Structure 1
Amino acid sequence: MSNTSKDEFVKTQIIEAAKTVFETYGFRKANMALIAKASGKGRSTLYYYYKNKEDVFKACMLDVYKPLLDICKSKLSNANTLKANLSIYAKENIIHIENALETYKIILHDLRQGEDFISSITVKIREQDIEMIKDCLTWAIQNKEIETLDNEHIIFLATIIVNTIDNTKKEFFIYETLKGDMLTKINWINNLLIQSLKLK
Protein backbone atom coordinates (compact mmCIF):
# COMPACT_ATOMS: atom_id res chain seq x y z
CA MET A 1 0.00 0.00 0.00
CA SER A 2 1.43 3.39 -1.00
CA ASN A 3 1.83 6.15 1.58
CA THR A 4 -1.03 8.10 -0.03
CA SER A 5 -3.32 5.06 0.07
CA LYS A 6 -2.34 4.34 3.66
CA ASP A 7 -3.01 7.94 4.68
CA GLU A 8 -6.44 7.86 3.04
CA PHE A 9 -7.23 4.54 4.73
CA VAL A 10 -6.27 5.91 8.16
CA LYS A 11 -8.22 9.13 7.58
CA THR A 12 -11.28 7.10 6.57
CA GLN A 13 -11.01 5.08 9.79
CA ILE A 14 -10.79 8.28 11.83
CA ILE A 15 -13.71 9.91 10.02
CA GLU A 16 -15.98 6.89 10.46
CA ALA A 17 -15.12 6.68 14.16
CA ALA A 18 -15.58 10.43 14.58
CA LYS A 19 -19.07 10.26 13.04
CA THR A 20 -20.07 7.86 15.82
CA VAL A 21 -18.55 10.15 18.46
CA PHE A 22 -20.34 13.24 17.11
CA GLU A 23 -23.59 11.28 16.78
CA THR A 24 -23.28 10.14 20.42
CA TYR A 25 -21.96 13.27 22.12
CA GLY A 26 -22.80 16.11 19.75
CA PHE A 27 -20.22 18.60 18.55
CA ARG A 28 -19.74 20.50 21.80
CA LYS A 29 -19.13 17.51 24.08
CA ALA A 30 -17.03 15.52 21.60
CA ASN A 31 -13.25 15.85 21.90
CA MET A 32 -10.07 14.51 20.34
CA ALA A 33 -9.55 11.97 23.11
CA LEU A 34 -12.95 10.38 22.43
CA ILE A 35 -12.28 10.35 18.69
CA ALA A 36 -8.84 8.79 19.18
CA LYS A 37 -10.30 6.08 21.42
CA ALA A 38 -13.17 5.31 19.03
CA SER A 39 -10.81 5.07 16.05
CA GLY A 40 -8.28 2.92 17.92
CA LYS A 41 -5.56 5.43 17.10
CA GLY A 42 -3.15 7.27 19.35
CA ARG A 43 -3.76 10.97 19.84
CA SER A 44 -0.48 11.71 18.08
CA THR A 45 -1.80 9.91 14.98
CA LEU A 46 -5.03 11.87 15.17
CA TYR A 47 -3.18 15.19 15.40
CA TYR A 48 -0.93 14.16 12.50
CA TYR A 49 -3.98 14.19 10.21
CA TYR A 50 -6.26 16.75 11.89
CA LYS A 51 -5.24 19.83 13.86
CA ASN A 52 -8.32 19.91 16.12
CA LYS A 53 -11.89 18.76 16.67
CA GLU A 54 -13.23 21.37 14.24
CA ASP A 55 -10.95 19.99 11.52
CA VAL A 56 -12.23 16.45 12.11
CA PHE A 57 -15.83 17.66 12.12
CA LYS A 58 -15.29 19.46 8.82
CA ALA A 59 -13.91 16.25 7.27
CA CYS A 60 -16.91 14.31 8.60
CA MET A 61 -19.45 16.75 7.22
CA LEU A 62 -17.78 16.82 3.80
CA ASP A 63 -17.85 13.02 3.81
CA VAL A 64 -21.54 13.02 4.78
CA TYR A 65 -22.21 15.49 1.96
CA LYS A 66 -20.44 13.44 -0.73
CA PRO A 67 -23.36 11.02 -1.42
CA LEU A 68 -25.65 14.01 -2.02
CA LEU A 69 -23.14 15.50 -4.44
CA ASP A 70 -22.78 12.16 -6.25
CA ILE A 71 -26.52 11.54 -6.59
CA CYS A 72 -27.18 15.10 -7.79
CA LYS A 73 -24.44 14.81 -10.40
CA SER A 74 -25.90 11.50 -11.59
CA LYS A 75 -29.47 12.85 -11.90
CA LEU A 76 -28.93 16.39 -13.18
CA SER A 77 -28.74 16.43 -16.96
CA ASN A 78 -28.89 18.70 -19.99
CA ALA A 79 -31.69 16.41 -21.19
CA ASN A 80 -33.89 17.70 -18.35
CA THR A 81 -35.70 21.01 -18.27
CA LEU A 82 -34.39 23.65 -15.86
CA LYS A 83 -37.55 23.14 -13.79
CA ALA A 84 -36.88 19.40 -13.54
CA ASN A 85 -33.20 19.88 -12.64
CA LEU A 86 -33.93 22.44 -9.93
CA SER A 87 -36.66 20.20 -8.52
CA ILE A 88 -34.28 17.22 -8.44
CA TYR A 89 -31.64 19.33 -6.70
CA ALA A 90 -34.11 20.57 -4.08
CA LYS A 91 -35.67 17.13 -3.50
CA GLU A 92 -32.32 15.37 -3.04
CA ASN A 93 -31.20 18.11 -0.62
CA ILE A 94 -34.33 17.64 1.47
CA ILE A 95 -34.00 13.84 1.52
CA HIS A 96 -30.35 14.15 2.48
CA ILE A 97 -30.87 16.58 5.32
CA GLU A 98 -33.84 14.63 6.70
CA ASN A 99 -31.70 11.48 6.84
CA ALA A 100 -28.70 13.32 8.29
CA LEU A 101 -30.74 15.04 10.99
CA GLU A 102 -32.33 11.75 12.02
CA THR A 103 -28.82 10.38 12.52
CA TYR A 104 -27.31 13.47 14.13
CA LYS A 105 -30.06 14.65 16.49
CA ILE A 106 -27.56 15.81 19.12
CA ILE A 107 -25.62 17.82 16.54
CA LEU A 108 -28.90 19.45 15.50
CA HIS A 109 -29.27 20.63 19.10
CA ASP A 110 -25.77 22.16 18.89
CA LEU A 111 -26.67 23.87 15.63
CA ARG A 112 -29.73 25.43 17.26
CA GLN A 113 -27.48 26.87 19.95
CA GLY A 114 -25.24 28.50 17.37
CA GLU A 115 -23.96 27.42 13.98
CA ASP A 116 -20.98 29.73 13.48
CA PHE A 117 -18.51 26.88 13.87
CA ILE A 118 -19.65 25.20 10.66
CA SER A 119 -19.49 28.28 8.41
CA SER A 120 -16.15 27.23 6.87
CA ILE A 121 -17.63 23.83 6.01
CA THR A 122 -20.62 25.28 4.22
CA VAL A 123 -18.39 27.51 2.07
CA LYS A 124 -16.77 24.47 0.43
CA ILE A 125 -20.09 22.67 0.03
CA ARG A 126 -21.73 25.77 -1.46
CA GLU A 127 -18.97 26.10 -4.05
CA GLN A 128 -19.75 22.61 -5.37
CA ASP A 129 -23.50 23.24 -5.29
CA ILE A 130 -23.12 26.51 -7.16
CA GLU A 131 -21.13 24.72 -9.88
CA MET A 132 -23.96 22.18 -10.33
CA ILE A 133 -26.61 24.89 -10.59
CA LYS A 134 -24.41 26.88 -13.01
CA ASP A 135 -24.43 23.78 -15.23
CA CYS A 136 -28.23 23.59 -15.03
CA LEU A 137 -28.58 27.25 -16.04
CA THR A 138 -26.07 26.83 -18.88
CA TRP A 139 -27.97 23.80 -20.20
CA ALA A 140 -31.24 25.77 -20.05
CA ILE A 141 -29.66 28.55 -22.13
CA GLN A 142 -28.29 26.03 -24.66
CA ASN A 143 -31.73 24.39 -24.89
CA LYS A 144 -33.32 27.84 -25.39
CA GLU A 145 -35.51 27.49 -22.30
CA ILE A 146 -34.36 30.79 -20.85
CA GLU A 147 -32.77 33.96 -22.17
CA THR A 148 -29.03 34.13 -22.77
CA LEU A 149 -27.06 35.28 -19.73
CA ASP A 150 -23.43 36.22 -19.37
CA ASN A 151 -21.20 34.27 -16.99
CA GLU A 152 -21.45 36.91 -14.26
CA HIS A 153 -25.24 36.63 -14.18
CA ILE A 154 -25.13 32.82 -14.33
CA ILE A 155 -22.86 32.78 -11.25
CA PHE A 156 -25.09 35.32 -9.50
CA LEU A 157 -28.28 33.33 -10.19
CA ALA A 158 -26.67 30.01 -9.22
CA THR A 159 -25.54 31.56 -5.93
CA ILE A 160 -29.02 32.96 -5.24
CA ILE A 161 -30.67 29.58 -5.94
CA VAL A 162 -28.27 27.70 -3.68
CA ASN A 163 -28.60 30.32 -0.92
CA THR A 164 -32.39 30.24 -1.15
CA ILE A 165 -32.52 26.48 -0.71
CA ASP A 166 -29.90 26.54 2.07
CA ASN A 167 -31.77 29.25 3.98
CA THR A 168 -35.09 27.49 3.49
CA LYS A 169 -33.61 24.26 4.91
CA LYS A 170 -32.41 26.21 7.96
CA GLU A 171 -35.83 27.76 8.51
CA PHE A 172 -37.48 24.31 8.39
CA PHE A 173 -34.94 22.12 10.18
CA ILE A 174 -32.85 24.36 12.45
CA TYR A 175 -34.97 27.39 13.37
CA GLU A 176 -38.30 25.55 12.78
CA THR A 177 -39.99 28.79 11.72
CA LEU A 178 -41.60 27.24 8.62
CA LYS A 179 -43.91 24.23 8.37
CA GLY A 180 -45.50 22.23 5.60
CA ASP A 181 -44.16 20.73 2.39
CA MET A 182 -40.75 22.28 1.86
CA LEU A 183 -40.25 20.90 -1.66
CA THR A 184 -43.51 22.48 -2.86
CA LYS A 185 -42.45 25.85 -1.44
CA ILE A 186 -38.95 25.66 -2.98
CA ASN A 187 -40.37 24.59 -6.36
CA TRP A 188 -42.77 27.56 -6.21
CA ILE A 189 -39.83 29.93 -5.73
CA ASN A 190 -37.88 28.22 -8.52
CA ASN A 191 -40.86 28.46 -10.88
CA LEU A 192 -41.09 32.21 -10.26
CA LEU A 193 -37.43 32.51 -11.17
CA ILE A 194 -37.78 30.37 -14.30
CA GLN A 195 -40.81 32.34 -15.50
CA SER A 196 -38.84 35.58 -15.18
CA LEU A 197 -35.98 34.12 -17.26
CA LYS A 198 -37.99 32.61 -20.09
CA LEU A 199 -37.41 33.86 -23.59
CA LYS A 200 -39.84 36.61 -24.48
Structure 2
Amino acid sequence: MKDQSVREHILETSKKVFQQLGYEKVTMDDVAKASGKGRSTLYYYFKNKGDVFEAVVSDEYYKMISKAKAAVNKSNSINENLLHYTEVKLKILIELATTYDRILIDIKKNEAILSKIHLNVRNEDIVLIEECLLWAIEKEEITPVSTSDIEFLALAIVTATSSIEREIFLYETIKNDMLKRLQWITQLIIKGLQH
Protein backbone atom coordinates (compact mmCIF):
# COMPACT_ATOMS: atom_id res chain seq x y z
CA MET A 1 0.00 0.00 0.00
CA LYS A 2 1.31 3.44 -0.95
CA ASP A 3 2.25 5.73 1.93
CA GLN A 4 0.92 9.25 1.35
CA SER A 5 3.61 10.83 3.55
CA VAL A 6 6.36 9.25 1.41
CA ARG A 7 4.72 10.58 -1.76
CA GLU A 8 4.38 14.06 -0.23
CA HIS A 9 8.04 14.01 0.86
CA ILE A 10 9.11 13.09 -2.67
CA LEU A 11 6.96 15.92 -4.08
CA GLU A 12 8.31 18.53 -1.66
CA THR A 13 11.93 17.62 -2.35
CA SER A 14 11.22 17.39 -6.10
CA LYS A 15 9.99 21.00 -6.10
CA LYS A 16 13.41 22.10 -4.90
CA VAL A 17 15.22 19.92 -7.45
CA PHE A 18 13.12 21.18 -10.38
CA GLN A 19 13.60 24.76 -9.18
CA GLN A 20 17.39 24.35 -8.94
CA LEU A 21 18.08 22.37 -12.10
CA GLY A 22 15.09 22.90 -14.37
CA TYR A 23 12.97 20.15 -15.89
CA GLU A 24 15.34 19.31 -18.75
CA LYS A 25 18.34 18.63 -16.50
CA VAL A 26 16.56 16.79 -13.68
CA THR A 27 16.90 13.01 -13.63
CA MET A 28 15.13 10.47 -11.46
CA ASP A 29 18.53 9.98 -9.77
CA ASP A 30 18.46 13.66 -8.75
CA VAL A 31 14.98 13.22 -7.28
CA ALA A 32 16.02 10.01 -5.50
CA LYS A 33 19.11 11.64 -4.02
CA ALA A 34 17.24 14.76 -2.85
CA SER A 35 14.41 12.74 -1.31
CA GLY A 36 16.71 10.17 0.28
CA LYS A 37 14.72 7.41 -1.42
CA GLY A 38 15.83 4.68 -3.78
CA ARG A 39 14.89 4.70 -7.45
CA SER A 40 12.64 1.69 -6.90
CA THR A 41 10.67 3.72 -4.33
CA LEU A 42 10.33 6.61 -6.80
CA TYR A 43 9.06 4.30 -9.52
CA TYR A 44 6.59 2.81 -7.08
CA TYR A 45 4.96 6.24 -6.76
CA PHE A 46 5.71 7.79 -10.17
CA LYS A 47 6.12 6.41 -13.71
CA ASN A 48 8.84 8.86 -14.79
CA LYS A 49 10.22 12.38 -14.43
CA GLY A 50 7.27 13.85 -16.32
CA ASP A 51 4.88 12.18 -13.90
CA VAL A 52 6.78 13.68 -10.94
CA PHE A 53 6.74 17.14 -12.56
CA GLU A 54 3.00 16.94 -13.25
CA ALA A 55 2.40 15.88 -9.65
CA VAL A 56 4.49 18.82 -8.38
CA VAL A 57 2.52 21.35 -10.45
CA SER A 58 -0.83 19.68 -9.61
CA ASP A 59 0.02 19.73 -5.91
CA GLU A 60 0.59 23.49 -6.01
CA TYR A 61 -2.63 23.97 -8.00
CA TYR A 62 -4.70 21.99 -5.48
CA LYS A 63 -3.20 24.01 -2.62
CA MET A 64 -4.18 27.20 -4.45
CA ILE A 65 -7.75 25.98 -5.01
CA SER A 66 -8.02 25.01 -1.35
CA LYS A 67 -7.09 28.57 -0.34
CA ALA A 68 -9.54 29.99 -2.89
CA LYS A 69 -12.30 27.79 -1.42
CA ALA A 70 -11.52 29.12 2.05
CA ALA A 71 -11.94 32.69 0.76
CA VAL A 72 -15.54 32.26 -0.43
CA ASN A 73 -18.66 31.61 1.61
CA LYS A 74 -22.41 31.70 1.43
CA SER A 75 -22.75 34.96 3.37
CA ASN A 76 -20.73 36.90 0.76
CA SER A 77 -22.33 38.41 -2.32
CA ILE A 78 -21.53 36.85 -5.69
CA ASN A 79 -19.30 39.83 -6.49
CA GLU A 80 -17.42 39.44 -3.19
CA ASN A 81 -16.99 35.71 -3.72
CA LEU A 82 -15.69 36.10 -7.26
CA LEU A 83 -13.46 38.96 -6.14
CA HIS A 84 -11.99 36.85 -3.32
CA TYR A 85 -11.63 33.84 -5.62
CA THR A 86 -9.72 35.76 -8.31
CA GLU A 87 -7.71 37.76 -5.78
CA VAL A 88 -6.53 34.71 -3.83
CA LYS A 89 -5.64 32.80 -6.97
CA LEU A 90 -3.78 35.74 -8.50
CA LYS A 91 -1.79 36.45 -5.32
CA ILE A 92 -0.79 32.80 -5.04
CA LEU A 93 0.12 32.61 -8.73
CA ILE A 94 2.33 35.69 -8.36
CA GLU A 95 3.98 34.14 -5.31
CA LEU A 96 4.48 30.81 -7.09
CA ALA A 97 5.89 32.54 -10.17
CA THR A 98 8.44 34.25 -7.94
CA THR A 99 9.26 31.21 -5.80
CA TYR A 100 9.36 28.73 -8.67
CA ASP A 101 10.57 30.94 -11.52
CA ARG A 102 12.59 28.08 -12.99
CA ILE A 103 9.55 25.79 -13.02
CA LEU A 104 7.53 28.56 -14.72
CA ILE A 105 10.20 28.75 -17.44
CA ASP A 106 9.86 24.98 -17.92
CA ILE A 107 6.07 25.24 -18.14
CA LYS A 108 6.41 27.99 -20.75
CA LYS A 109 8.61 25.67 -22.82
CA ASN A 110 6.12 22.83 -22.57
CA GLU A 111 2.65 24.32 -22.25
CA ALA A 112 1.14 20.90 -23.00
CA ILE A 113 2.04 19.88 -19.44
CA LEU A 114 0.07 22.79 -18.03
CA SER A 115 -2.89 22.10 -20.33
CA LYS A 116 -3.01 18.46 -19.25
CA ILE A 117 -2.84 19.39 -15.57
CA HIS A 118 -5.40 22.16 -15.99
CA LEU A 119 -7.89 19.78 -17.63
CA ASN A 120 -7.42 17.34 -14.75
CA VAL A 121 -7.92 19.87 -11.96
CA ARG A 122 -10.23 22.55 -13.36
CA ASN A 123 -13.30 20.68 -12.11
CA GLU A 124 -12.33 21.89 -8.64
CA ASP A 125 -12.61 25.47 -9.91
CA ILE A 126 -15.87 24.79 -11.74
CA VAL A 127 -17.53 23.18 -8.70
CA LEU A 128 -16.49 26.13 -6.53
CA ILE A 129 -17.91 28.68 -8.98
CA GLU A 130 -21.13 26.65 -9.38
CA GLU A 131 -21.55 26.76 -5.62
CA CYS A 132 -21.07 30.55 -5.58
CA LEU A 133 -23.67 30.91 -8.35
CA LEU A 134 -26.17 28.72 -6.48
CA TRP A 135 -25.70 30.82 -3.34
CA ALA A 136 -26.33 33.96 -5.42
CA ILE A 137 -29.54 32.50 -6.86
CA GLU A 138 -30.68 31.48 -3.37
CA LYS A 139 -30.14 35.05 -2.16
CA GLU A 140 -31.84 36.41 -5.31
CA GLU A 141 -28.72 38.33 -6.35
CA ILE A 142 -28.93 36.92 -9.85
CA THR A 143 -31.72 35.63 -12.04
CA PRO A 144 -32.44 31.92 -11.57
CA VAL A 145 -31.15 29.78 -14.41
CA SER A 146 -31.25 26.08 -15.21
CA THR A 147 -28.70 23.62 -13.85
CA SER A 148 -27.14 23.27 -17.30
CA ASP A 149 -26.84 27.07 -17.55
CA ILE A 150 -25.17 27.22 -14.12
CA GLU A 151 -22.72 24.54 -15.23
CA PHE A 152 -22.00 26.40 -18.46
CA LEU A 153 -21.67 29.76 -16.69
CA ALA A 154 -19.21 28.29 -14.16
CA LEU A 155 -17.21 26.80 -17.03
CA ALA A 156 -17.25 30.18 -18.83
CA ILE A 157 -16.00 32.02 -15.73
CA VAL A 158 -13.25 29.47 -15.10
CA THR A 159 -12.25 29.48 -18.77
CA ALA A 160 -12.14 33.29 -18.89
CA THR A 161 -10.11 33.65 -15.70
CA SER A 162 -7.77 30.79 -16.67
CA SER A 163 -7.17 32.38 -20.06
CA ILE A 164 -6.32 35.71 -18.44
CA GLU A 165 -4.01 33.91 -15.97
CA ARG A 166 -2.20 32.31 -18.92
CA GLU A 167 -1.85 35.68 -20.63
CA ILE A 168 -0.36 37.08 -17.43
CA PHE A 169 2.04 34.28 -16.52
CA LEU A 170 2.85 32.35 -19.68
CA TYR A 171 2.66 34.92 -22.42
CA GLU A 172 3.28 38.02 -20.29
CA THR A 173 0.89 40.11 -22.41
CA ILE A 174 -0.85 41.63 -19.36
CA LYS A 175 1.49 43.32 -16.94
CA ASN A 176 -0.52 46.05 -15.23
CA ASP A 177 -3.74 45.93 -13.23
CA MET A 178 -3.91 42.14 -13.47
CA LEU A 179 -6.45 41.79 -10.67
CA LYS A 180 -8.65 44.57 -12.06
CA ARG A 181 -8.74 42.86 -15.44
CA LEU A 182 -9.73 39.52 -13.91
CA GLN A 183 -12.40 41.21 -11.80
CA TRP A 184 -13.75 43.13 -14.77
CA ILE A 185 -14.35 39.91 -16.72
CA THR A 186 -16.21 38.19 -13.86
CA GLN A 187 -18.25 41.31 -13.02
CA LEU A 188 -19.26 41.66 -16.65
CA ILE A 189 -20.67 38.13 -16.63
CA ILE A 190 -22.46 38.60 -13.30
CA LYS A 191 -23.99 41.96 -14.31
CA GLY A 192 -25.62 40.17 -17.22
CA LEU A 193 -27.40 37.87 -14.75
CA GLN A 194 -28.56 40.43 -12.22
CA HIS A 195 -32.23 41.38 -12.00
Name the TM-score, length of structure 2 as normaliser: 0.94
1:16 Cα deviation from its structure 2 partner: 1.0
State whether residues 14 and 31 of structure 2, in contact with CA within 8 Å, keep that contact through their aligned partners in structure 1.
Answer: yes
1:53 Cα deviation from its structure 2 partner: 1.2
Q: Flag structure 2 segments of 5+ consecutive residues without an equivalent.
A: none
Counterpart for residue 48 of structure 2? 52
1:127 aligns with 2:123: yes
Counterpart for residue 164 of structure 2? 168
* Pairs within 5 Å for 1:62-81: 62-81=58-77
1:153 Cα deviation from its structure 2 partner: 0.8
1:29 Cα deviation from its structure 2 partner: 2.0
Partners of 1:52 and 1:111 in 2: how far apart?
Answer: 17
1:125 Cα deviation from its structure 2 partner: 2.0
Partners of 2:81 and 2:139 in 1: how far apart?
Answer: 13
* Pairs within 5 Å for 1:25-64: 25-64=21-60
Identical columns (%):
39
Counterpart for residue 186 of structure 2? 190
Moved more, 130-139 or 64-73: 64-73
* Pairs within 5 Å for 1:16-27: 16-27=12-23
Counterpart for residue 97 of structure 1? 93
Counterpart for residue 11 of structure 1? 7
How big is the alpha-carbon RMSD for the aligned residues of Structure 1 and Structure 2?
A: 1.3
Superposed structure 1 runs of 4+ greater than 4 Å apart: none
Partners of 1:126 and 1:186 in 2: how far apart?
Answer: 17
1:45 Cα deviation from its structure 2 partner: 0.8
State whether residues 137 and 143 of structure 2, in contact with CA within 8 Å, keep that contact through their aligned partners in structure 1.
Answer: yes
